[in-house]
Structure 1
């Protein structure tokens, strides 16, 4: 199983996951043209996709979904409430390309099991995914105001995580956003901060080689170096030293990460 974080941030999100038989895109939050450029940068084509998995209906996750669905005739998977919420946002998608992926269920594609789980975000029915193959586990978890014990049960012990580290609380509080937006981001249905993400990481990481990709960083309220430093320091305060069995990696809003094996 291999994956690349094609893009991650407030302006658009997309993650590519493949094994020897199947390939999936999780979210398509950038323009169709930009999505094609990102695929080309990791030497892949959307012509070969087995499906697109949707997490929720916010524009930074579905901006390019409709045009890509129609151009490449690819199956689209989302839960019922998300389908209803994004109906007017993605345009016409033929019925034969529409598939339901229920909350907290598993779909199997050959040797690849994909498990959905609920997160806490201000969308219709937001959910993210865990990919399992041959004892290896890849977790995708962003767009959540907090990480509950139930979520931790789904994601614990992964070999690789794409984990939200959205904002620095001080930068957000002192920044230019109106208070209503700040309150939304800081709420239980907003986004997790660097420190809160790290505390959650400390409770789900096991003592084995593990990669964590810090993702969905706010353009205005975070920086890569700050996120990495804050997460590192918080993990150390929880007794986990990065660079031993756990390694942190950056993601980018416009550039794909290297395609790596889980």
Structure 2
């Protein structure tokens, strides 16, 4: 393997039931979230030819179980260094169990930490969790953004994540499927609120605001298994972008994610 292969990414799983993304550079192998069991994350990594034992760090976005379910198990079993802000640590303490103190690290929102050849920038989002934040990863002037749980994308957020080479971006629901579906009305209100989730249309509009000439790959993530479909999310985003004259499938690719099948590794 070359010593200078850049930054590689695989979306191991993304849906309303569980989320985890793998990122590697020549010096680091990290995860963003562990919303599946430790066993399933291990299997997902094996499917892309990687070993969970080689991961050194885990960045947690918020305490909801579809992002934190496997945090405790992975930290204890494989000695991962775990990063989250203080309120998130407090909120997930009762679910992740005891983690050795030397593996617990506070990473507050709207800060940047450097890990050798990997710089990680955190940014606040609008979601109904204790203190939710997501991350932008930088290596060799290339950037990859993870943003899968927010009710809207503010001007501040957009400014922080603009013109990255690749995005994992939320398209949680089709608004009509959600409104007509069987969820109780309070849950529908929560999802549709400014502290809920982006719809396909909202995701497309936010993406068109933040993407730039450097953007080459867009992964549509965190799809609801009850209120969305891959084909519908993809068609909605692609159609809206084409209507604005953007070069879908020419200048950049729109790609799907899956609840249980890891996407192949790609180089950012």
Structure 1 residues 1-262: aligned runs within 5 Å: 1-262=7-268
Q: Is the 8 A contact 1:52 1:75 kept in 2?
A: yes
Secondary structure in structure 1 of the residue aligned to 2:206: helix
Q: CA deviation at 1:112?
A: 1.1
**Structure 1: which 5+ runs fail to align?**
none
| TM-score between both structures, scaled by the size of structure 2 | 0.96
Name the CA distance, whole Å, in 2 between partners of 1:239 and 1:131: 28
Q: Is the 8 A contact 1:103 1:116 kept in 2?
A: yes
Q: Is the 8 A contact 2:163 2:215 kept in 1?
A: no
**Structure 2: which 5+ runs fail to align?**
1-6
Q: Is the 8 A contact 1:199 1:238 kept in 2?
A: no
| Alignment RMSD | 0.9
| TM-score between both structures, scaled by the size of structure 1 | 0.98
Deviations 1:61-115 (A, max 9, x none): 0111111111011111000000000010101111111011111111111121100
Q: CA deviation at 1:208?
A: 3.6
Q: Is the 8 A contact 2:164 2:214 kept in 1?
A: no
Q: CA deviation at 1:132?
A: 0.8
Deviating beyond 2 angstroms after TM superposition, the runs of 4 or more aligned structure 1 residues are 236-239
Deviation larger for 240-249 or 33-42: 240-249
Q: Is the 8 A contact 1:159 1:210 kept in 2?
A: yes
Name the CA distance, whole Å, in 1 between partners of 2:18 and 2:44: 12
Q: CA deviation at 1:238?
A: 2.9
Q: CA deviation at 1:209?
A: 5.0
Secondary structure in structure 2 of the residue aligned to 1:4: strand
Name the CA distance, whole Å, in 2 between partners of 1:135 and 1:168: 35
Q: CA deviation at 1:12?
A: 0.3
